[in-house]
Amino acid sequence: MKICKTYEIEGIVQGVGFRPFVFMLAKKYLLNGFVYNRSVGVYAEVEGEEELISKFEFELQNHPPVLAHIDKITQKTVPLQNFTDFKILKSKASFSKNTPISPDISLCPDCLREMRDKNNRRFGYVLINCTNCGPRYSIIKTVPYDRINTSMSVFEMCEECRAEYNDPSNRRYHAQPISCPKCGPKITFTDIRGGFKTDTEPLEKLAKAIKSGKITALKGLGGFHIICDASNESTVKLLREKKRRPAKPFAILMASLEMAKEYCDITECEQEALLSREKPIVLVKKRNALNDIIAPHTDRLGIFLPYTGLLVGICELVGRPLIATSANISGEPIITTAKEIENKLGGIVDAYVDFDREIINFCDDSVVQFAGKNSIFLRLSRGYAPKSFKTSYECKEKILALGAHQKSTIAVFNDTNITISPYIGDLESIKSIEMFERTIDTFRRFYDFNPSLLVCDKHPHYASVMWAKRQNMPIIEVQHHYAHILSIMFEHDIKDEVLGISWDGTGFGDDKTIWGGEFFLCDLKHYKRVYSFKPFKLLGGDGSIKNIDRIAFSILYPAKDNAVAAAFLDNFSKEQKYLLEQSYKKDINALLCSSVGRLFDAAAAIILKQKSVTYDGESGLYLEALYDKSVQDRYAVVIDKNGMVEYIHWFLGMLEDEPKVAASKFINTLAALTVHIAKKQRKKVVLGGGVFQNRTLVEKIAELLEKEHIEFFLAKSISPNDSSIALGQITYALNNL
C-alpha cells in the first residue's frame, strides 16, 4: 500500500551530506517526494510503498552520514501527495535558527586519496575537502549553512566544481567549501625577512625554510600554527626565548602513526584518538626524546597527526617531526590573519604560508589525554566544538552563560539545545576579551539568539562577570566549584544528591575567600560544603600564584618550630623572609585559600625545589613524572572536627622523603582522602575541577574507588577544567528558574 510520511530531522544534519543521503536513500527504495534544509534541521516528505518506506526509515535512523549526529526525528503520516519524482529543494529559513553548527573536520581518506592521485584533477591540491571533511565552524558567518553564508562566498565555482556541487550522486554534492586548483583560494608563501611574497611552490618554500632551521607559520582551519623543525635544538631554543615560553611543552606534529611510534609509547585508546576524525593533540608517553627542551621535566609529549591537506603536505615535504603550536601571544586567542602574524609575531616568525579563505571563527587544536581508558580533555575545541547537547529542559528563557575567566568558553541555551563554544583563551588581555565578545556575537548570529537571562561566576573581578553586569539584564550567579560539579552532573544526567569533589586552581568562595578544595553534598538546586581543605594564606594574593615557593612558605610557616620546616624557611633570603613573615602575621595581602591546585604548587616547590611556574598545570605534570607506582605508602588523612582537611604533616613529610617517594605519597594521599570521605557519605561521587586533569591522580582515585565499589563520575566528553564552567552555569539556571 502506498503511504506518505513527513520527517523533521534535528541534530547535526547540515553540511554533512544529509540531503544527498536522503536523496540516494529515496532513489534506492523507489520513493518520491522532497527534502530540504531549514533552520531547525532537515525536512523531508517521502511517498511510496509502506514496506519500502519502513526500510528507508530504518536506514535513515541507523546509517546516517558519518558526520551527522541525529538528536531527534519527528515523523507523521499525511495524505498522499502523488509526487512524481524525488527532489532536493532550496533551503528554507524558518522562525528559529537552531541547527547545531558542525565543528571543523579533518581531511577524509577519500580526499587524501584524490590529493595523492596523479590522475585526479585535485592532485596536490592541499585545500581539498568534501561533504565529509573540511572547514565548517571556522568559515560560517550565519545559518543556514550555505556557501553564501560562508567565507567561500567570494570564490566563484568553476564549471567542474559546480557540476559536482549540483550532482546528488557526487560526494561533493552541496559541499559548501568545494573548490579546486582552478577556482579555489590561492596559497602564498611570504618571506618576512626577505620581504617577498609568491604563489609558486609555496609549501616547498616553507619546507625549505623549516629544514634550514627557520621558525615559520602556516594557516590552518581555525588559525595559524607556528611550525619549526622539532629535531633542531637551537631553533626550538630560539622559539622558547622569542615566545617567552621557558617551559610549557610544545605539541609535535607527526607525519604518521609510524613516525609517532618511533618517539612515543602509544596505548590503544591514544592511538584511536590520534587517528579519529577529530584528530586532537594527544598526550602520550615519550620514549626517545627528540630533545629535552620540547617538554622539559615531564614524561609526556603532546602529539597529533596532520588533519588538513596543508599539514599532510608539509609533513611529507619535511619528513621530520615538527613543532606545531598555536600562533598567538601567550594567553591570547589564536591568530587568524597574516596581518596579525606580521604585526604580532613578526619578530618570531621568519616566513609563513597563507591562503585567501578567511577564517571567520577562530578555533584552537583540541587536547586530550587518557587515564587508563578514561579520556581527560584538556581543551575542547577544533573537531569537537561548538558542542551541542539536546536536553529535555523546557524553558522559554534564552540563556547565555559566560563561563569563568581562564580557559574561557561561553554556552547558550536555546529551545532545548545547549551549545558550548570552542575554547576562547584566558580573559586577561584586551584581545582575549575582544574575542570573548566576538564569540558571543557569533553565537547570537548563528542561533538568532538574544539572551533573556545571563549566568555568570561570583568572582567580582572576572572579565566575564563584569561584562555580564554591564548588560543591564537579569543575572544569575553560580558558585565556581559548584558549577564544576554541575557540568559533570549534566553530562552524566545525574539528578539525585551526590558527593561533589571540586578540586581546582582558584575560584571565588561564598565566604569571599578563595576556594578550590571542596567537598559538597549537592543536587541540581542546592549545595552544602561538607568538607574543605583547611585554608592557608595566599601571600601576595591571587597575583602571586606563579611564585610557588611562597605558597610552600605559607603552609610551613605555622610549623616554624619544627627543625625541618625551619630549614626550609631559611632557604629564603633575609629580606624575602621578613616580607613574607610580615604579610603572614599582619594579614597584608594574604587571602585565605583552600585550593588543591595551589597545594600541588607547594608540593612541587618542596619536592623539586622549584621557585616558580610559568604555565597552568606545570607543578602537577612534574609531580606525575616523579610518580612511582611501586610506592604504596601515603601520609595520614586527618580531618578536624570542623570538617577541615589537615595537611601540614604531609608537607613536613615531603621535606624529609626522597623526591620520588614524596611525590608518590602526596598523590596517593589525595586519592585516599577522596575514598575516605566517599565511604562516609555513601553517595555517587562526582569529581570536577582543573586538578582532575592530572591523569596519575585520576588513575589512582579510580583504582581506589573501584576497589570499594563506589560509583563515581568524571568529565568524559567535556573538560574537567574551567572551560566547562559555562555548561555548569546553564545547568544551574535551568534547574532553578
Helix (H, G, I), strand (E, B) or coil at 221: coil
Least CB distance to Fe ion at residue 308 (A): 32
The entry of Fe ion, Zn ion, none that residue 631 binds, CB within 5 to 8 Å by partner kind: none
Distance CA 59, CA 338 (A): 45
Chain residues 501-540 in contact with Fe ion, contact rule CB under 5 A: 504, 507
Least CB distance to Zn ion at residue 117 (A): 13
Which CB, 436 or 447, lies closer to Fe ion?
436
Which CB, 421 or 724, lies closer to Fe ion?
724
As beta bridge partners, residue 48 has 3
Q: Helix (H) and strand (E) counts for the chain?
A: 22, 32
Helix (H, G, I), strand (E, B) or coil at 284: strand
**What mask of x and - would describe binding to Fe ion in positions 688 to 727, judged by CB under 5 A?**
----------------------------------x-----
Distance CA 593, CA 509 (A): 9
Contact 26, 111 (CB under 8 A): no
Which CB, 366 or 721, lies closer to Fe ion?
721
The entry of Fe ion, Zn ion, none that residue 420 binds, CB within 5 to 8 Å by partner kind: none
Contact 660, 696 (CB under 8 A): no
Which CB, 251 or 591, lies closer to Fe ion?
591
Chain residues 177-236 in contact with Zn ion, contact rule CB under 5 A: 180, 182-183
The one-letter code for the residue type at 366 is: S
The entry of Fe ion, Zn ion, none that residue 487 binds, CB within 5 to 8 Å by partner kind: none
Which CB, 361 or 487, lies closer to Fe ion?
487
Which CB, 11 or 597, lies closer to Fe ion?
597
Contact 548, 635 (CB under 8 A): no
Helix (H, G, I), strand (E, B) or coil at 582: helix
Least CB distance to Fe ion at residue 421 (A): 17
Which CB, 252 or 424, lies closer to Fe ion?
424
Helix (H, G, I), strand (E, B) or coil at 417: strand
Chain residues 352-371 in contact with Zn ion, contact rule CB under 5 A: none
Least CB distance to Fe ion at residue 721 (A): 7
Evaluated on CA atoms 423, 427, 430, 434, the torsion sign reads: positive
Least CB distance to Zn ion at residue 105 (A): 8
Least CB distance to Fe ion at residue 553 (A): 24
Residues ≥6 apart with Cβ < 8 Å to 637? 645, 669, 672, 673, 676
Least CB distance to Zn ion at residue 177 (A): 10
Least CB distance to Zn ion at residue 59 (A): 22
Chain residues 104-163 in contact with Zn ion, contact rule CB under 5 A: 108, 111, 130, 132-133, 158, 161
Quote the DSSP letter at residue 138.
Answer: G
The entry of Zn ion, Fe ion, none that residue 504 binds, CB within 5 to 8 Å by partner kind: Fe ion
Least CB distance to Zn ion at residue 175 (A): 8
The entry of Fe ion, Zn ion, none that residue 161 binds, CB within 5 to 8 Å by partner kind: Zn ion
Q: Tell me the residue ranges of DSSP E strands in 457-605.
A: 475-477, 498-508, 514-522, 527-533, 536-539, 590-593
Chain residues 142-171 in contact with Fe ion, contact rule CB under 5 A: none
Which CB, 164 or 229, lies closer to Zn ion?
164
For helices 202-211 and 309-318, give the axis angle rounded to 10 degrees: 50
Least CB distance to Zn ion at residue 259 (A): 23
With CB under 5 A, what is the number of residues at the site for Zn ion? 10
Nine cell digits for residue 161:
566544481
The entry of Fe ion, Zn ion, none that residue 521 binds, CB within 5 to 8 Å by partner kind: none
The entry of Zn ion, Fe ion, none that residue 722 binds, CB within 5 to 8 Å by partner kind: Fe ion
Helix (H, G, I), strand (E, B) or coil at 668: helix
Least CB distance to Fe ion at residue 332 (A): 20
The one-letter code for the residue type at 176 is: Q
With CB under 5 A, what is the number of residues at the site for Fe ion? 3
Least CB distance to Fe ion at residue 21 (A): 41
**What mask of x and - would describe binding to Fe ion in positions 448 to 487, judged by CB under 5 A?**
----------------------------------------
Asked if the peptide bond before residue 144 counts as cis, ω within 30 degrees of 0, the response is yes
Asked if the peptide bond before residue 451 counts as cis, ω within 30 degrees of 0, the response is no
Residue recorded with cell 571540586: 502
The entry of Zn ion, Fe ion, none that residue 183 binds, CB within 5 to 8 Å by partner kind: Zn ion
Which of these ranges, 48-56, 499-507, 552-560, 657-665, lies near Fe ion under the rule CB under 5 A?
Answer: 499-507
Which CB, 168 or 507, lies closer to Fe ion?
507
Evaluated on CA atoms 275, 278, 280, 284, the torsion sign reads: negative
Categorise residue 256: left if φ over 0, alpha if ψ from -120 to 50, beta otherwise: beta
The entry of Fe ion, Zn ion, none that residue 686 binds, CB within 5 to 8 Å by partner kind: none
Q: Tell me the residue ranges of DSSP E strands in 329-407.
A: 351-355, 367-371, 374-379, 387-390, 399-401
Helix runs in 517-636, H state only? 548-556, 563-569, 574-586, 596-607, 618-626
Which of these ranges, 19-27, 228-236, 500-508, 654-662, lies near Fe ion under the rule CB under 5 A?
Answer: 500-508
CB-nearest residue to Fe ion: 504
Residues ≥6 apart with Cβ < 8 Å to 73? 7, 8, 9, 10, 60, 61
Contact 6, 62 (CB under 8 A): no
Residues that bind Zn ion (CB under 5 A): 108, 111, 130, 132-133, 158, 161, 180, 182-183
Which parts of this chain interact with Fe ion (CB under 5 A)? 504, 507, 722
